[in-house]
Amino acid sequence: MPEDLINSFMTGPDENGRFGDFGGRFVSETLMPLILELEEQYERAKTDESFWAEMDHLWTHYVGRPSPLYFAERLTERLGGAKVYMKRDELNHTGAHKINNVLGQILLARRMGKSRIIAETGAGQHGVATATVCAKFGLKCIVYMGAHDVERQSPNVFRMRLLGAEVVPVTSGRGTLKDAMNDALRDWVTNVRDTFYCIGTVAGPHPYPAMVRDFQSIIGKEVRRQMLEAEGRLPDTLVAAIGGGSNAMGLFHPFLDDPDVAIVGVEAGGKGVDEKMEHCASLTGGRPGVLHGNRTYLLQDDDGQILEGYSISAGLDYPGIGPEHSWLHDVGRARYVSVTDAEALEAFQLCCEMEGIIPALEPSHALAHVTRMAPGLPRDHVICMNMCGRGDKDIFTVASALGHDI
Amino acid sequence: MTRIDDTFARLRSEGRKAFVAYVMAGDPDYETSLELVRGLSGAGVDVIELGLPFTDPMADGPTIQLAGQRALEAGQTLARTLDIARAVREEDDATPIVLMGYYNPIYSMGVPRFLEAAKAAGVDGLIVVDLPPEEDDELCLPAQAAGLNFIRLATPTTDDRRLPKVLQNTSGFVYYVSITGITGAAAAQAGEVGPEVARIKAQTDLPVVVGFGIRTPEAAEAMAGVADGAVVGSAIVRQVEEGRPVSEILDYVRALAAGAHRA
């Protein structure tokens, strides 16, 4: 069926790492040979059954996959419209989807003989997952984290240190996630021989966006199978929160060529997507540019200088987005909306009260959009949202936003 | 032939090595920076590298990053950096000016518009750190077509298999990064760098200059001695950071240039 092949949304990126005009390899020459080697090794691992057998084993016995697909019955009744399912990736070991990808990259690093792992982290979930897997395999782990995030995510900082990782507070620039990524890249440029950079999201130079997506696609593949079991058909709508966009890409990708499945990404609207730019909605409020190795939608000023994002959720606080999302946005295969801090907080509380699940602030954004759309849809419409992280790490932030002193 | 080609041809015929100086445009403010750049050729600088400030300079150390932040806070833009180049060009038609920075501000202005403006301002070449040969269609090839040199970095990780690709669309000169690391970090030894430069020169007729980690006239002399020239950036920028008067900074530059020229 050549026509179907031509019309597939799942074949990207091309050999230059491009999704349409997005993606690419915008890095300094020092890193170029490393990135090409990584691509070569990943291509080899990808088609090696023993690589995936090891992944499957660890996913099952270490992470606890498959994660359940859960019908949120009371929430569905309360909203009075579409049926709401939650993909329970917050039940993974370490409490978020991040470990799906970290396992893949660390196995690859081991194959490549790298002994030193570096990572950047915002909320700390990717840092904790990386520290965890490094502890399991006895690898040295250094996590770069913005000084501001070190302060607001102190439980995760302590977790990483317990797991034996060195957490480096980043004060360069403004000390946020993007600066942590800059410093991780500086480390990599300096320690090229023994170091593997474990990127936490579907961004960065090729092959990272494709590789991280492939590792996270386990989410969507499971949903496909589980939904067929539960409902006898595919979902009508998928909803996921987006910072860099790895949990969303993992859920969306296996469904890109199912035209009847609507796909919605939810960006962090912060205090509102307007000219004050106090948000992280790169697609809704940004324009294409080049940062951290790839071309994608970015929050930037008229002179191409990168702006700081803002969100109550540290995990969404990044001025860019994975290049594949930028492409899906431009070609219209996925729709991207934004949700404010206030809406996310409301959904957070609703989820606690109606379902007995304390969600992370990141998926609370996705859930907020579900609460907006579900009431207007028929009762046989099936929504699946990605509950990509648990909220234990966020209770201090939420308490403070709700005016409690704990 | 650009001013860069002319300069290296002249230096070669005189049997001299090149001294290349980097300063951040607009650091700490437009006027001071303009005064400093104006004084460089008089202090013995053969090629001026004018840094384009960027919020996220991933390949640079803290000195260059802070310089960029100071410049941006003082209101520096890409257009104002071209103003500096134009002002220098009005009084000096010989010294090559190379813009060095990251791609996004250029991409944001639009490549055709940028190239036209840079050419009109008297800019001779570009060094864009995050544009490897794999992305040559973006800016390298249009820049060469517009008559600007596109100067590439070669690094210790650029092995012999990859070197031809790096050299292929490079013009003006090759900038050899003497260490794996960021600007302003520890220096390499000239003894280690010499064979690397020879490795590059075996595959190109272009001049090769060496940079990263050079801070003293002696180091400039040693590095220029094993190559066609030496580049100093962070060490000069640090003088700006310390708030020294322009005349003092130019004295320091003069000493560095004399070191390179002794080689």
| pLDDT digit string, tens, across residues B30-39 | 999 999 999 9
Q: Residue A174 in contact with residue A167, Cβ under 8 Å?
A: no
Work out the number of other CB atoms within 10 angstroms of the CB of residue A348.
Answer: 27
Q: What crossing angle do the helices spanning B217-225 and B246-262 adopt, rounded to 10°?
A: 30
A32 vs B: CB within 8 A = yes
Answer yes or no: is B191 within a domain. yes
Q: How far apart are CA B208 and CA B224, in angstroms?
A: 10
Query: What is the average per-residue pLDDT within B164-176?
Result: 97
Cite the active site residues of B: 49, 60
Q: What are phi and psi of A254, to 5 degrees?
A: -65, -10
**pLDDT per residue as tens digits for the range B191-207:** 899 999 999 999 999 99
| CATH code (residue B144) | 3.20.20.70
Of A24, A185, A303, the CB nearest to B78: A303
Q: Which residue of chain B is at minimal alpha-carbon distance from A185?
A: B58
Number of domains composing chain B: 1
Q: How many CB pairs under 8 A join A and B?
A: 117
Q: How far apart are CA A225 and CA A254, in angstroms?
A: 11
Bridge partners, B229 (sequence order):
B18, B209
Answer yes or no: is B66 within a domain. yes
Tokens in use for B210? 């060496």
Q: How far apart are CA B92 and CA B41, in angstroms?
A: 9
Mutate to test the interface with B, among A305, A306, A308, A318 (most CBs of B within 10 A): A305
Residues of chain A falling short of pLDDT 70: 1-6
Which chain B positions have a beta carbon within 8 Å of A172's beta carbon? 62, 65
Find the largest Cα–Cα distance for chain A: 62
The set of residues, in sequence order, having a beta carbon less than 8 Å from that of B143 and lying 6+ positions away, is B115, B126, B149, B150
Q: Which residue of chain B is at minimal alpha-carbon distance from A293?
A: B130
Q: Which of B135, B132, B173, B159 is nearest to B2 (CA)?
A: B173
Alpha-carbon torsion (B126, B131, B132, B135), positive or negative:
negative
A309 vs B: CB within 8 A = no
With 50 as the cut, is the pLDDT of residue B7 above it?
A: yes
The C-alpha of A26 sits at a distance from chain B's nearest C-alpha, in angstroms, of 5
A26 vs B: CB within 8 A = yes
Answer yes or no: is B37 within a domain. yes
Answer yes or no: is B263 within a domain. no
Strands A18-19 vs A22-26: parallel, antiparallel or unpaired: antiparallel
CB contact under 8 A, B157 and A33: yes
Which chain B positions have a beta carbon within 8 Å of A289's beta carbon? 104, 107-108
Answer yes or no: is B58 within a domain. yes
Coil vs helix vs strand at B198: helix
What residue numbers bound the domain in which B49 lies?
Answer: 3-258
pLDDT score recorded for residue A3:
46
The C-alpha of A27 sits at a distance from chain B's nearest C-alpha, in angstroms, of 4
A257-266, B173-182, B237-246: least confidently modelled range: B173-182
The set of residues, in sequence order, having a beta carbon less than 8 Å from that of A229 and lying 6+ positions away, is none
Mutate to test the interface with B, among A22, A29, A306 (most CBs of B within 10 A): A29
Q: Residue A70 in contact with residue A85, Cβ under 8 Å?
A: yes
How many CA atoms are closer than 13 Å to the CA of A39, on its beta-carbon side? 19
Which chain A positions have a beta carbon within 8 Å of B81's beta carbon? none
pLDDT score recorded for residue A1:
39
A30 vs B: CB within 8 A = yes
Q: Which of B55, B11, B7, B6 is nearest to B261 (CA)?
A: B11
Which chain A positions have a beta carbon within 8 Å of B111's beta carbon? none
Which chain A positions have a beta carbon within 8 Å of B184's beta carbon? none
Answer yes or no: is B232 within a domain. yes
